Amino acid sequence: MIRLVLPILLATALLPVLRAQQRGMAAEPLDDVVRGTNAISAGGSAGLFVGVGAFDAGSNLGSLKYAPDDAVALAHLFTLELKLVPVDRARVAISGTPRSQRGNKQLAALKAAGVRFVGADKNALLGALRQIKAEASQEDGLIVVSVATHGFEDGGGQYLMPSNGLREEAATTGIPLNLVKQRLQEASARKRILLLDACREAVEGGTRGAETATAGLQESFRKAEGFAVLGSCSAKQLSWESDELQQGVFTHHFVQALKGGVGGSPSDGLIRLGDVAQWVAVETAKWARVNRNVAQEPWTEGEIARQIPLAVDPRTARRLAEARVAAEAEAQKIREQAATNEKRRKDALKLARNAQADHDATFSKETLDSVEKALAASKAGSVEELVRRLERHFRKPVVETDDVVDFLNWWRDQQQSERTSAILDSLLIRRDRVARPEPVPAVTNPVAPAPRPQEPAPRREAAPEAVDRPAEEAESPAPGSLAQRLQLSPTRDSPYENSLRMRFVPVAGTKAWFSVWETRVRDYAAFAAANPGTDAAWKNPVSNGLAVTPTNTCPVTFVNWEDARLFCVWLTRKEHSEERIPKTAGYRLPTDAEWSRAVGLKENMAWSPSDLDGKTKNVWPFGSTWPPASPVGNYADRATGEAFRNLDWESIPGYDDGFATTSPVGRFPANAAGLQDLGGNVLEWVEDLYKEKDTTRVRRGGAWYQSKPDSLWSSCRHRERPTERDAYTGFRVVLEGVDTGK
């Protein structure tokens, strides 16, 4: 029996799960980048897969049990699994039917996909060879020929037997192997592989003679030019089939090589023909020795063709992608830090000069001169010390200079630090007091209202080594304390800021203050640091080789509903202990009804989410026009489509928001309530069950990967198990119990 297979990659034999797990993961199709880099065009590829298991009466040829199974497995592999050969350029020719359950399922799948089936007689096979030769029409294409049948030598020639071939007339009724070789060489496609899995016998050997391979056929391919030949056994050896494997042993191991047996190249993750051939030779010989106590030694010819890439090793590819992302992230971090340092230097220099020109009384001339000189020559890390120097040289505790206050406020924002100096905090608190001198309404919680601000007492002289501090600091509440922070009710233009510097505004029709944006990576990192054992899926997630959350100001992803609830519990306890919120207040997820109010819907709050799902049609967080005309949120746009083109990702036609995955929060316009990203970026967990007696929870809003209009309606509800984590779901929190009555 002989089997021939020309192209790239593995057969679909169903390997035992345990062995696949031990050896690795199944190979994956070559993506567009790999195709382009290695000059492989599926559009210029074609294949013929032949399995002759049954022969006409009087042929004097014995049936081949698993020839149809092997042909079907290879056709399924190349067309449906690895997509190396388009279904409209693939032909399958079998006589007999597959014996295995796997083979019959694959046969049905091929027919359903539209793969063409042709006869296995001589005329049909010769016609199919001519057709695929013509269809393999591009130099960067691949041509695949797979044949499983009897093979004979007759008069010095080698022949493959069609279903109507005669054993005693091999030269006249068989298909010359030289003709197969010629058709492969005539094809425009430069990637050509011949896989020969069979033994051959001499005609004069009779019907019962030893059916061993002869040296003639192997020698005819010894100097293969322009294509690769993989033979299943050497001269005078048998090519075995196996009832346990339900395939030819050589074909089985060829498949298994691509189901985890062979790893990808460490440099690019590609699995190449030469590596597969070497692995198959070792494993096939081992099987024959252990199971039959005989020799079966596969061989390979065609050195150049050994470099043909067959597939991608997902393990290696993932590692390389992660390394590339990490390297780029590190390089981007360095670039951003350099840009930030330069901006800090220029901004600080400008503000210091303004302070010197307009407010000489604020700083001593000596200080301003030294600051300006140092700023002009400063590099990374030096600006922070300059700010400390500025603070040490304050000449009065109450500073009304906008330039100086702006300078310090800017510095705090740039550093994104929870801790600032006492002078900095006192300056900012005083500024708030000057801006809002009216009486503060009573707060409905157990904490006593803060006293009205008093004029500061004269500054006390400090010890020479001490930093100047306002005289009244000891008597006033600590900066950021509950009494001070709740003096002001938040508004759309003046949000409340908590200990993580998350900002909150009230939403009409609710008692809660909504976070202006979705919970960021940096917010969740603080929670994870305080709670060892937190699931680490949120850290540095990657999709299709891209970072899902490339900066710490992007919304956190890969958090489930339970994670979000634990974050709220932790943040509540944290701010209770710090006396930032009253004991009656706390953080939680918004309810479905509150989220609807936040996005501007006026739904019946007594109805369940399932009843309201999609009821308000053609209304989006950004308006009532589709598609959106300008960037109004982070949805599946041109950048997403390009980044995920190998997955046929759909994007909004003509839409371009500039982000392939998540964007930093707050990059798009706020709605009437002052909230951002209610549409786009990530889906948001809310408190509710989807419907009564259900186990799934509700997510609201759109996500960076979505493009369908109805899935982005403001009224759309997305149901999901509360334990599920993915690359496009995060959450937003609300704060309740701190309403000042305004």
Alpha helices by DSSP H, listed for 164-263, are 170-173, 177-186, 215-220, 249-256
Name which residue leads in pLDDT, 500 or 356: 500
Q: Which of 332-346, 383-397, 430-444, 638-652 has the lowest mean pLDDT?
A: 430-444
Beta bridge partners of 49: 92, 146
pLDDT digits (tens, 9 = 90+) for 86-134: 999 999 999 999 999 999 999 999 999 999 999 999 999 999 999 999 9
Q: Which of 134-138, 266-270, 652-656 has the lowest mean pLDDT?
A: 266-270
Q: What is the pLDDT of residue 25?
A: 55
Average pLDDT over residues 200-219: 44
Question: What one-letter code names the amino acid at 411?
Answer: W
Nearest to 626 by CA among 617, 634, 638, 615: 617
Residue 337: Cβ within 10 Å count: 12
Domains of the chain as residue ranges with CATH: 2-312 (3.40.50.1460), 321-577 (no CATH)
Sheet holding 586-588, edge to edge: 496-497, 503-506, 512-515, 734-736, 586-588
- Rounded distance between C-alpha atoms, residue 592 and residue 606, angstroms: 11
**Could you tell me if 446 and 584 are in contact, meaning their C-beta atoms sit under 8 angstroms apart?**
yes
Token pair 């790999």 is found at 34
Name which residue leads in pLDDT, 535 or 20: 535
What lies within 8 Å, CB to CB, of 466 at 6+ separation is: none
Assign 436 a pLDDT band (cuts: 50, 70, 90). very low
Q: What is the pLDDT of residue 453?
A: 35
pLDDT of 472 over the 60 cut: no
Share of the chain above pLDDT 90, in %: 37
Q: What is the pLDDT of residue 217?
A: 53
pLDDT of 231 over the 80 cut: no
Nearest to 147 by CA among 77, 74, 80, 209: 74
pLDDT of 407 over the 60 cut: no
H or E, element range at 201? strand 200-202
Q: What is the pLDDT of residue 182?
A: 86
Assign 491 a pLDDT band (cuts: 50, 70, 90). confident
Q: Which of 343-352, 458-467, 512-521 has the lowest mean pLDDT?
A: 458-467
Q: What is the pLDDT of residue 135?
A: 92
Q: What is the pLDDT of residue 77?
A: 83
Assign 680 a pLDDT band (cuts: 50, 70, 90). very high
* Alpha carbon 132 to its chain's center: 37
Question: Which of 147-151, 166-170, 231-235 is most confident?
Answer: 166-170
pLDDT of 435 over the 70 cut: no
Q: Which of 127-141, 236-250, 283-297 has the lowest mean pLDDT?
A: 236-250
Q: What is the pLDDT of residue 652?
A: 94
Assign 344 a pLDDT band (cuts: 50, 70, 90). low
pLDDT of 355 over the 90 cut: no
Q: What is the pLDDT of residue 270?
A: 84
Assign 644 a pLDDT band (cuts: 50, 70, 90). confident
The overall average pLDDT reported for the chain is: 76
Strands 683-689, 729-731: pairing kind: parallel
pLDDT of 179 over the 70 cut: yes
Q: Which of 226-230, 421-425, 473-477, 719-723 has the lowest mean pLDDT?
A: 473-477
Q: What is the pLDDT of residue 184?
A: 86
pLDDT of 584 over the 70 cut: yes
Strands (E), 630-696: 683-689
Residue 619 half-sphere exposure toward CB, CA atoms < 13 A: 14
Question: What one-letter code names the amino acid at 60?
Answer: N
pLDDT digits (tens, 9 = 90+) for 289-324: 899 888 888 877 776 667 788 777 777 767 777 777
Assign 663 a pLDDT band (cuts: 50, 70, 90). very high
Assign 28 a pLDDT band (cuts: 50, 70, 90). confident
Q: What is the pLDDT of residue 454?
A: 36
Residue 312 half-sphere exposure toward CB, CA atoms < 13 A: 22
- Rounded distance between C-alpha atoms, residue 4 and residue 183, angstroms: 14
Question: What one-letter code names the amino acid at 7?
Answer: P
pLDDT of 230 over the 50 cut: yes
Assign 710 a pLDDT band (cuts: 50, 70, 90). very high
